[in-house]
Structure 1
Amino acid sequence: MELFHVLNRGVEKRNIVMDDKDRLRFVQGLYLYNDENLLDRNTRRFSKEKAISTVRKKLVNLHAFCLMDNHYHLLLSPVDADMENLSAFMRKLNMGYAKYFNEKYRRVGALWQGKYKKIYIARDSHFLHIPYYIHLNPLDYKFYEWRSGEISNTLDPISFLKKYKWSSFLDYFGTKNYPSLLTTDVLKNMLGTQEEQIATIKSIISNPDKTNFSEIIELSD
């Protein structure tokens, strides 16, 4: 199985979501567009009910994700190790959401800064740290110092993450937030129990291993 960290940002770093309705629409798209049977020309016609009631043939396995105001992170593996499946999913997701956003806000032009960035998870150290990097991204809203290891009170950031619902963090933390979206078996053993995750998060945000995260950040820029 090949894992890829996939991300994209709004053009000129603009916001890609304006409210929770937009956030929900993007997350619903992670489900709807992950279907070989949904043709590209149908991405404009979003129907959650139709997606649930028909037989789906997944294009990718989604292992983790985080939606931020102006960008997103996905951890994906293409079904059957077929990169065409990953490309098809990303094309549908980006195009479908951009159409929704531009129509809703009566705008024209590109929403995304480019196609998308795809990073192959080739090293064990990258694999071990990327789920935490993705899930800790929301701390940038309130606890940006987590990246430099300057957080002394680690309870507040963890409490904040537990309340942030636009990522897969809760699904690995014992709460079924988006169970229909995710393939969790690959990461569950690695992330461990809630207690083990808390211990790892505390370690990261109070004294992060800059070498491991710096590699992820460098590849993501």
Structure 2
Amino acid sequence: MPRTPREKSPTGIYHIIMRGVNRQRIFEDHEDRQKLLEKLFKFRGVSGYRIFAYCLMDNHIHILIQENKEPLSRAMKRLSSSYVMYFNHKYERVGHLFQERYRSEVVDNDRYLLTALRYIHQNPLKAKMVEDVTSYRWSSYNEYFNDGYLVDKDFVLELFGPSREKALAQFIAFHGEINDDKCIEIEEPRMNDGRLKEIIRDRIGMDASDIENEDKMRQISILRKLKTIDGINTRQLSRLTGIPYIRVWRA
């Protein structure tokens, strides 16, 4: 069945989400997060896109972006492919890291641009990872107050006020407002253990608990196949098979 074409933004601006396949972590340490930002900066020179906001969470990324010289799909493919190559080499793993198709929504006016901006910056706050948006290191919020190199600050700040001082004051106030902002979010299908055991048995013709009795190469082949099941995650697969988490993760 063919995929539904993405809606085209009249402004060229989109809120996109790139998520780890089956909720897998895409960052293991600060070096990984910094590497992703470096690549986002590097490929900006190739693709010409503009970044207005970003937030790196453990298993997904939010980016508020405007496409330019090339289609956004091509730019995101370049970014994800380059990062996956780095990640797989560093952690001695193979296979997919990101869900195959990133999610996106059209940002077609200034009001929704600011809504998406706040939603992205408040993601760690709403996930209860921090108590204040200023405390999260891996979002673009603090770039608006320093010499950060990635975000196009002027475009956004002009929407808040004529002078930089007033604009920043309004920027802070806007992020502090109580809100119920709704934007696209990652889809998190979940599957209970009983149902997953049935699916594994149907897929490979054996019980999940028997997989650890197979030789190493056969285990890897089976695990790669099972990791494509929508709704499964690495920790759950490790628990059901009895195979150590790190081996499942690397498969």
Please report the TM-score for the alignment, with normalisation by the length of structure 1.
Answer: 0.70
Deviations 1:109-168 (A, max 9, x none): 11011221121113554223110001111214536xxxxxxxxxxxx833xx22322121
Query: Structure 1 residues 118 and 217, CA, compared in 2 at 3 Å: closer, same or farther?
Result: closer
Q: How does 1:127-138 map to 2 (within 5 A)?
A: 127-138=113-124
What is the Cα-based RMSD across aligned positions, in Å?
A: 2.2
Partner residue in 2 for 1:28: 38
Partner residue in 1 for 2:134: 162
Q: How does 1:51-62 map to 2 (within 5 A)?
A: 58-62=47-51
Q: CA deviation at 1:24?
A: 0.7
Look up the SS of the partner of 1:157 in the other structure: coil
Q: Does 1:121 align with 2:107?
A: yes
Gaps of 5+ in 1: 37-57, 144-155
Partner residue in 2 for 1:55: none
For residues 139 and 88 of structure 1, what CA distance do their matches in structure 2 show?
31
Gaps of 5+ in 2: 1-10, 162-166, 188-251
Query: Structure 1 residues 11 and 75, CA, compared in 2 at 3 Å: closer, same or farther?
Result: same
Match of 1:200 among 174, 179, 189: 174
Q: How does 1:1-221 map to 2 (within 5 A)?
A: 1-36=11-46, 58-79=47-68, 84-142=70-128, 157-158=131-132, 161-172=133-144, 174-176=145-147, 178-179=148-149, 181-191=150-160, 193-204=167-178, 208=179, 210=180, 213-214=181-182, 216-217=183-184, 221=187
For residues 114 and 152 of structure 2, what CA distance do their matches in structure 1 show?
17
58-67 or 4-13: which moved more?
A: 58-67
Residues 59 and 89, structure 1, Cα contact 8 Å, conserved in 2:
no
How many residues get paired? 172
For residues 2 and 128 of structure 1, what CA distance do their matches in structure 2 show?
15
